[in-house]
Structure 1
Amino acid sequence: MQQLFYIHLVIVRQAIRKDAAALAVLLTQLGYPSPQENLDFVLGKIETYSAETYRLLVGEVDGDVVGFISLHWFQIFHSPGRMGRITAFCVHERVRSKGIGQYILTEAEKFLVAQGCTSVEVTSNLRRLQTHDFYLKHGYAETSKRFIKSLVPKQG
C-alpha cells in the first residue's frame, strides 16, 4: 500500500497587527504572561519590529500563524559585516517537529544575509534542551557564556 504525505505550505512574512492574538498565544508557550495580558505588549512590538534594524516574521500555514521569529541586526566593532540576532523564536506546540521551525529559521537567515549580516547569534534558556539540540542540528555552535544584569530595581 502506498503511503501519501500532505505537505502544508509555510508562508514566512512580516508580522502585522492582526497577528497579535496568535503571537500572544505563542509567547505564553514560551512561558510569558497570558495572551490577554500580552496583547497590548505584542501590538507595540509589532510596530517596533517594523523599524530599520528589527523584524518580526511569522510563519503561516493554511492562514493560521503557527510560529514567529524576531530579529535584530547591527554592526559590531571587532568584526566586518553585521551580526544578526534572533531575539525570540517559537513554533506552536501542535505543529512542532514537522519542519516548520526549520523553514522559518532558514527564511530568517536568508533575510539577515540580505541585510548584510555575516553571522547570526541566538541565546536560549538553559532549561530548553530540545531547543539547544535544534540549533546545533542547524549549524549553530555553542561558543560563549551570557551574562545579564538588570539595570532597573525590582518592583515590590
Structure 2
Amino acid sequence: MIRNATVGDANIIVQLLSELGYADTQSFIKERIQELLENPDAMLFLYEYEGKVVALLSLHIIPQIALFGSFLRISYFIVDETVRSREIGAELEALAIKIATERACDRIEVHCHERRKGAHRFYEKNGYKESPKYFIKQLHRSKRRA
C-alpha cells in the first residue's frame, strides 16, 4: 500500500534514510517533513508491506523556463533491502510517472550516487538514461532555529 507520509512517520523515515548513508537526520527530520507537506510541488510517500513501512519516495515538481514542460525530480527513493525484488520499486516508480503525467512534466530526473550500482540497474531497466555531469557546491550555513 502506498500512502502519504506524515510527521508521525519521522522515525521510520530516519531508518530508511540511514540505509542510503544519511545518518543523524533525527534532529531535523520532523521539520523537513513538515516543509515538504506544506510545499504544493513536493510529495512524500511511504510504502507499507505486511504492515511495515519498507519504502520512501520523495518527489519534487520543478518548472522550467527554457523548456515547455516541468520536470519531476525523484529526490529520495529508498526500498528496504529486505524487500527488494518484490516490485515495490516498480509500483513507486509507476506512481512517479502518473504524477509527472498529471502535472504536465516532460521528464523525470533522479540523481543517484555512483556507488549505488543496484539502483543504477533499476533505473536503466526502467528506461532512464545517464546524463552526466552533475555539479554540487556545498554551502555552509548555520542551523535553523526551531
TM-score over 0.5 for the pair: yes
1:43 is aligned to 30
CA–CA distance in structure 1, aligned partners of residues 100 and 28 of structure 2: 25
1:97 shift after superposition:
1.5
Instruction: Check if 1:65 corresponds to 2:50.
Output: no
Q: Is the 8 A contact 1:15 1:58 kept in 2?
A: yes
Shift in Å at residue 150 of structure 1?
1.4
Which of the residues 111, 129, 133 maps onto 1:145? 133
Q: How does 1:112-151 map to 2 (within 5 A)?
A: 112-151=100-139
Q: How many residues align?
A: 141
Q: Which runs of 5+ in 1 are unaligned?
A: 1-10
Kindly, what percent of the aligned residue pairs are identical? 35
One-letter amino acid of the counterpart of residue 67, structure 2: S
Deviations 1:11-56 (A, max 9, x none): 11210122211111001100111xxx42342212221111111111
Amino acid at match of 2:22: Y
- Residue 152 of structure 1: SS of its match in structure 2? coil
Q: Secondary structure at the match of 1:38?
A: coil
- TM-score, length of structure 2 as denominator length: 0.89
TM-fit CA distance, 1:67: 0.2
Decide which moves more: 58-67 or 128-137: 58-67
Asked if 2 retains the 8 angstrom alpha-carbon contact of 1:19 and 1:65, the reply is: no
Q: 2:9 aligns with which of 10, 19, 25?
A: 19
TM-score by length of 1: 0.83
Displacement of 1:77 after TM fit?
1.7
Does 2:73 align with 1:85?
yes
Q: Give the AA of the match of 2:29.
A: V
Equivalent residue number for residue 97 of structure 2: 109
| Larger of the two Rg values belongs to structure | 1
Deviating beyond 4 angstroms after TM superposition, the runs of 4 or more aligned structure 1 residues are none
Uncovered stretches (5+) of structure 2, i.e. residues with no partner: 142-146
User: Paired residue for 2:20?
Assistant: 30
Residues 90-141 of structure 1, C-alpha deviations (whole Å, 9 max, x = no match): 0011101111111111112212222221211001101111111110001111
**Which letter maps to 1:46?**
I
Which whole-Å CA distance do the structure 2 matches of 1:91 and 1:151 have between them?
29
One-letter amino acid matched to 1:94: T
Instruction: Give 3-state SS (helix, strand or coil) of 1:78's partner.
Output: coil
